[in-house]
Structure 1
Amino acid sequence: MSAQHPSDVLREYIESTTSPSLEAALEDAAEFGLPTPDAATGTLLSSLAALTKATGAIAVTPTASVIGLYLLAGMAEGGILTCIDPEADHQKRAKATFRDAGYSPSRVRFLPSRPLDVMGRLAHGSYNLVYGEIAPLDLKAFVDAALPLLAPGGAIVLADALLDGTLADETRKDRDTVAAREADQYFQTLEGVHVSRLPIGAGTTLIVKP
């Protein structure tokens, strides 16, 4: 029997220290086949929310219950989380999760809409953190819509945007890989931001507005 890789041991340790409310949200997401972030990505979100002293954050994900708990854990007291997802059932479960975790309904608002349909109506410069699980074809449009919403010092987190590194394989010509590769190249050309690519999840892109 081979020994576990150190990164696997570390991941298991981080996951073993999750709170009961988060554990319940993860189990609920798994039951309905919804994607969830690994523990490293989740704890990064909490830290970014704390680092930016987030009073406003946006979560674009079908698993708002899990992502929302990570974000709310780091946000400033009284900070408001905006959850955007077109599926009302997902948001219904998230409402129950936040209530059970002790968060006031006034801390979270839900927009049951397609993200790109509603983000243009949100207040510019009012959000410290924008998290998105975005299809490769929509990555560029999502970032273009999210950047004006950021306050100075704010950040955009694009989960799994690097497709486990397959976008580095130039022989891959499928639509999603090409779109992710083009989006990654586009982000490097953006002016007035700092772009980092992190080997967590399937590859996370972090765009910071100074």
Structure 2
Amino acid sequence: MSNAFEFLRNYVESTTEIDPALATAREDAAEFGLPVPDEVTGQLITTLAAATNSEGSTGAIAITPAAGLVGLYILRGLADGTTLTCIDPETEHQRHAKAIFREAGYSPSRVRFLPSRPLDVMGRLAFDSYQLVFGQVSPMDLRAFIDAAWPLLRPGGVLMLADALLDGTVSDETRKDRDTVAAREADDYVRALDGAHVARLPLGAGLTLVTKKT
């Protein structure tokens, strides 16, 4: 199964034309040693951003140090007139993301940057307004992040939890370290959410999609 998965992923990547802005964003993230979605996951991000477009949507939120790359995938799917909000405490990461979006031709009005810890500012954002929230946070913050992100989503909106399953180590009951226990508890918690459809996919270190029922 793993060989088949790798074969399919390699096929998708080899038959996809990557534009220069995406290539630059991926190189920039690699220089900083940042974890990034592969091309398969990136295409899924774009598809979900496009599929969740709806009248009245404010736009999407990207909470990841690799906002330049993730943001490009999101912006490709977002409808005109909506905004991408990037939240990260590292201003250097955001400076690089701004340059990447400018190179890709996106107007500065399409993106806003909040140089803060996500959990410090998410409660100030408008509830029931966003169609997509992408989060790449530490296992210890997962539960609090879910609680902060869930009210922001519109009905039909999607919460994406990148690398939330720790390469499957959550399934190893002998693992009792803090990160694994926190990720396992967050996985249990999100699957028990009322009004949610949950899908867990073998992408990256385990991608969890949580869709708010309409």
TM-score range, shorter chain: over 0.9
AA at the equivalent of 2:181: V
Q: Deviations over 1:104-151 (max 9, x none)?
A: 000000000000000000011110000000111111110111111001
Q: In the alignment, is residue 9 of structure 1 matched against residue 7 of structure 2?
A: yes
What pairs with 1:87-102 in structure 2 (closer than 5 Å)? Answer: 87-102=90-105
Equivalent residue runs for 1:105-116 within 5 Å = 105-116=108-119
Once the two structures are overlaid, the 10-residue window that deviates more, 6-15 or 111-120, is 6-15
Alignment correspondent of 1:85: 88
2:49 is paired with a residue of what secondary structure? helix
1:179 counterpart = 2:182: yes
Distance 1:123 1:186 in 2: 23
Report the counterpart of residue 50 of structure 2 in structure 1: 50
Aligned mate of 1:167, from 160, 165, 170: 170
Unaligned runs of 5+ in 2: none
Distance in 2, Cα, partners of 1:195 & 1:139:
15
Q: Which whole-Å deviations, capped at 9, do the CAs of 1:178-200 have from their partners, x for residues lacking one?
A: 00011111112111111111111
Between the two proteins, the alignment pairs up a number of residues equal to: 207
- SS of structure 2 residue aligned to 1:5: helix
Moved more, 189-198 or 101-110: 189-198
Mean Cα displacement is larger for which, 9-18 or 69-78?
9-18
Residue of structure 1 in register with 2:27 after alignment: 27
| Aligned residue type for 1:13 | Y
Moved over 6 A (4+): none
TM-score by length of 1: 0.95
Q: Which residue of 2 aligns with 1:37?
A: 37
- The alpha carbon displacement at 1:8 in A equals 2.3
CA distance in 2, matches of 1:209, 1:158: 14
Is structure 2 residue 196 aligned with structure 1 residue 198?
no
Matched residues in 2 for 1:93 and 1:13: separation? 30
Q: What CA distance in whole angstroms lies between the structure 2 residues aligned with 1:189 and 1:7? A: 29
Q: Which residue of 2 aligns with 1:72?
A: 75
Q: SS in structure 2 opposite 1:53? A: coil
Shift of 1:10: 2.5
What is the percent sequence identity of the aligned residues? 66
Cα separation, 2, equivalents of 1:179 and 1:70:
28
Q: Runs of 5+ in structure 1 lacking a partner?
A: none
